[in-house]
Chains A and B, each alone.
Chain A
Amino acid sequence: MDSIFTTCEHCAERFEAPTRSAGGLTNCPRCGQATEVSGGSDPLWTALVGLALAVTVVAVTIAYQAGGGPAAAMTFGVCALIATIQRLAA
């Protein structure tokens, strides 16, 4: 069984939890209470954050290359980031 070490947030017991519980909860073998298992990423969420950052970087670069200056480039970048978040949240 693949396992991951985690520490109980209630009694500080360090124990092995199944990898499939990573990012979720498991019951501590010592105190029996539910505790979070460290690890576990959210691949889709990570991809969306990456996409938003990429759009921002591209927007800043385009605005800077077009001769808008750093302030205008940053403003354009922030606007692009907000627009991307609005799109993703819709």
Chain B
Amino acid sequence: MPHAFEVDSYTIRRKFFTVLGASFHIYDDQEQLIGFCKQKAFKLREDIRVFEDEAQARPLLTIKARQAIDFSASYDIVDATTNTKVGAARRKGFTSILRDSWEILDADDRLIDKLQEDSTTLALVRRFLSNLVPQKFHLGSGVIFRQRFNPVIFKMDVSIENAEVDRRLILGVAALVAAIEGRQSN
């Protein structure tokens, strides 16, 4: 199993110089590169790939939007090593206007968990006063996505304490959040 699916904590860091689209490096807590995430440019539907490294030789996950418009869009997350769907994430469009909120679905699109921005107050501060306040998300009770304070480069720590959700799904959702929510905060 790829190392990226086994670790309990990792950091997703946006690559500063990317000509088209966006890309992210994924590091474990020893600062070793465990993944590389690439968001394709000029795609009508969002298309995000997670690879084992920057050479992009071995894909780990494929994330594709079902709709062209990402307001309330659903994203299917596929394990690229076996070509099996591990689940999906659905952005709750109206709720996310005030506070980012996602539904996490299993391979049969049944709701299994929720991902939500930490507090409504801080979410409102980010939207209406300053987007410099880092975001923090809770996925169920055991997974936390914590954005670091960095006005220049998007960095987000993922810590898995007590996850019942498939780790491939967690990595896929983390990549999605970095690509979708990270784009909004920049």
Contact = CB atoms under 8 A, between A and B. Distances in A.
Interface in A3-19: 10, 18
Contacts of B83: 10, 33-34
B66 A23 contact: yes
A76 to B, nearest CB: 27
Interface of B: 64, 66-69, 71, 74, 76, 78, 82-85, 88, 107-109
B85 A25 contact: yes
Counting chain A CB atoms within 10 Å of each CB, the highest count among B66, B71, B107 belongs to: B66
The interface residues of chain B, by DSSP majority, are classed as loop
A44 B109 contact: no
Q: Can you list the 9 inter-chain pairs with the closest CB atoms, starting with the nearest?
A: A25-B76, A34-B85, A42-B67, A24-B66, A33-B83, A20-B109, A23-B66, A34-B78, A25-B85
Interface bin, chain A: 10 to 19
Contacts of B68: 42, 45
Contacts of B109: 18, 20-21, 24, 26
Contacts, number: 47
Interface of A: 10, 18, 20-21, 23-27, 32-34, 40, 42, 44-45, 48
Contacts of B76: 24-25, 34
A18 B69 contact: no
Contact of A45 (B67, B74, B85, B88): B67
A33 B62 CA distance: 13
Nearest to B64: A25
Given A33-B84, A34-B85, A26 B108 contact: yes
A45 B67 CA distance: 8
Most buried by B among A21, A32, A48: A21
Given A24-B76, A25-B76, A34-B76, A44 B71 contact: yes
Contacts of A45: 67-69
Contacts of B66: 23-24, 40, 42
